[in-house]
Each structure stands twice: as C-alpha cells, then as structure tokens.
Amino acid sequence: MGVPLLDLKAHHEPLHQEIMAALEQTFRSQAFILGPEVCKLEERVATYCQAKYGVGVSSGTDALLLALMALGIGPGDEVITTPYSFFATAGAVARLGAKPVFVDIDPTSYNLDPAKIEHARTSKTKAIIPVHLYGQCAAMGPIMELAKRHNLSVIEDAAQAIGADYRDGRRACSMGTVGCLSFFPSKNLGCLGDGGMAITNDPDLAERMRILRVHGSKPKYYHKLIGGNFRLDTIQAAVLNVKLNYLDQWTKRRQENATHYETLFQQSGLVQTGNVSLPKPVYRNSGVTHYHIYNQFILRVKRRDDLVAYLKQKGVGVEIYYPVPFHLQECFRSLGHKNGDFPESERAANVTIAIPIYPELTTAQQTDVVEAIAAFYR
C-alpha cells in the first residue's frame, strides 16, 4: 500500500517542462540575484494576498526576522506569540534579543486564543505574532483591535496559510502590519529549495525591509542600517511565477480531500467511538471563500504514539506537528516555564497527528489511510 505524507514527484511532474523552461531562461540570462523575475513575483504574490507590497526573501524564517528587524524589535522588547507552531516563529524573536511571551491556543483552531492576550501584555510589549496554523487564519479581528488600542505591531506568520481568508473575506498577510510567507517545498506554494516573502501595505516598511534585505545598503556600499543577506534567488522566483498559476486549483484539491476525509472517517465509525476527532474549521469554505487552505489535515487521536508507530510501519505518511511546545523547549528554559503552563498547547502536542492531504492524493489513497487507522483500533 503506502501513502506518503507529501508527494512532490506527483506534484511537479505535470509542470516538468514548464518549470524547466523557466530554469533554462534564468540560466540563459545569467542574472541570478533579484531582478525583474523577483519583482514580478513580489507584485503577483502581494496582489494574491490582497496587499500592496511584497519583499522576496531567502526563507519564511528570514521573512519573520526581517519584519521584526524592520519594526525595530530588539533587546528589552516583548513579543506575544503562540507556544504551538514551527520553531521559527519564536526563534526569530529570540535571535533579536527580544523576549517571546507565550499565550495559549484555542483548542479548536490551534491558533492564539485572543481572550488570553491582554493578560500577557506589559509595558514592554511591542508586537504580536499570530500564526495562521495549518492553513486557517487566527482570530485577526480581536487581535487587530487589541493591537490598535495599545499601538502594537502585528506580524502574521502566514507560512502555512497563503491565500487563506479570514471571516470578513480579507486574506492572510493583508490584515497585520506585515505578513510572512514561506515557499519551503512542503507549503501550499513551494519552490525548489528555500524561499519566502514579507508582505505589507505600508510603503515605508516595505522600503525598510528592501534595504535590510541587502545588508542595509542604500545606495550601494552606504549603510544607514545593519541588515543581512535575505534575498530570494531569481531562479526560485522564476519557478514560483510558474507555480503560482496553479495555486488556486491545488487549494481546491486540498479542500476536496478534507471534505472526503470527513465522509470516510464518519463512515468508518472512528469518530463515533471517540478514537479520532476531526478538525473543526472555524468557518466553512464556500466556492469563493477559502477559510481553510489545509496545509495540514490534523486529527486528535487516542493512543497517539502507538498509532503513529503503526502507521509508519504500514507505510502511511504521518507526522506530529509539533511534539514539543516552545515553552518546554530546552533553548527557552531561561524563560522559566514548566509543564502545565499552556495546557491546550501541551494537549495538542500530545494527541494530534497530520495525515496526507496534498493535492494529488487520490480517493483510493484516502481510503487506504482511513482503513489503516481503523485497523489499528480494531
């Protein structure tokens, strides 16, 4: 049997010639750093996200770092974020000498619980980083309201949520001060390596990020700021300019797969016995509105670790995103947290699994996944 968690071969095969032509063209031009291909992608992705400016960068991690640097976040500052995300979210804050201040998640959405933010705010708080985890927007309404009231910047970590709509139809990256995307191959829009983008509606912030992206240099060799090398490769932009044309159709396939899983899991009886709990999207997708773009399809399951071992042995691709919340990570020990500080994040870390949801997944493969899970509980 065997169903991978992600099938990049199946994903890229139909685009083989188109991608090769883009690579060939870049190679012929011998212009590998920034340039028109990157500018074109920046405009297209910003527009796709319903925002004005895009700054192509070397990774999603560097988009977060660059955004925080451009906002002047540093030692003595506090940044409120979730303890339940990919490491880069909190890592970027700590790398700048600022303090990540964690706020627990809402167990239904796996995103920051907005009701708990106010309590974590101090006079040192400078920014909030909501993560749109798994492909669904965090509660941006209440988060933006609180941020405006206290003059805080908001950095949307949209690495898993390109094109996801919030409840009012606004898209990820268009609501906060700046939004950060990743083009890592496993994201909904992935390149052939590392890449990312910072998105904003603020022209001054966009300009500052552009300058910081090239070591703070403007004009060349004159440095008003200390930046880094955060550039997006031209060759990756060329590939992404091809792949972006297909993003909506891939998103649609992911959503159809999610709907089909719901049917299969209901039919299997796994939901009724309580062995498996399905994701509960905060809002339902409709034809024109993508409330959830399913970068991951997450189940809560009984006897999680045994199930994962069983599925791996059966060749079913599963992953635990993420087994250790930030507050329990060794590198953040100095923050002084302990087990029990963020119970919903800890519970999510202990009972969830991600199963295959990629666009090329077939209904037969979905049946295999659900049957393998059912076999484990029999």
Residues near ligand PLP, by CB under 6 A: 59-61, 85-86, 88-89, 131, 157, 159-160, 182, 184, 194, 196
**CA 306 → CA 347, 358, 376, distances in Å?**
16, 24, 9
Sequence-distant (≥ 6) Cβ neighbours of residue 185 within 8 angstroms: 8, 191, 192, 193
How far apart (Å, rounded) are the C-alpha atoms in residues 339 and 279? 25
The least distance separating ligand PLP from the CB of residue 180, rounded to whole angstroms, comes to: 7
The least distance separating ligand PLP from the CB of residue 141, rounded to whole angstroms, comes to: 20
Nearer to ligand PLP, 85 or 125 (CB): 85
Task: Return the SS3 of 200.
Answer: strand
The least distance separating ligand PLP from the CB of residue 209, rounded to whole angstroms, comes to: 16
The least distance separating ligand PLP from the CB of residue 133, rounded to whole angstroms, comes to: 6
Nearer to ligand PLP, 308 or 354 (CB): 354
The least distance separating ligand PLP from the CB of residue 290, rounded to whole angstroms, comes to: 18
Nearer to ligand PLP, 155 or 372 (CB): 155
CB atoms within 10 A of CB 273: 11
| Residue 80: closest CA among 62, 100, 96, 94 | 100
Sequence-distant (≥ 6) Cβ neighbours of residue 348 within 8 angstroms: 84, 105, 107, 110, 300, 325
The least distance separating ligand PLP from the CB of residue 287, rounded to whole angstroms, comes to: 27
**205 with 177: CB under 8 angstroms?**
yes
Nearer to ligand PLP, 268 or 352 (CB): 352
Nearer to ligand PLP, 271 or 324 (CB): 324
Nearer to ligand PLP, 69 or 88 (CB): 88
Report which residue's Cβ sits closest to ligand PLP. Answer: 60
Q: CA quadruple 206, 169, 187, 25: dihedral positive or negative?
A: negative
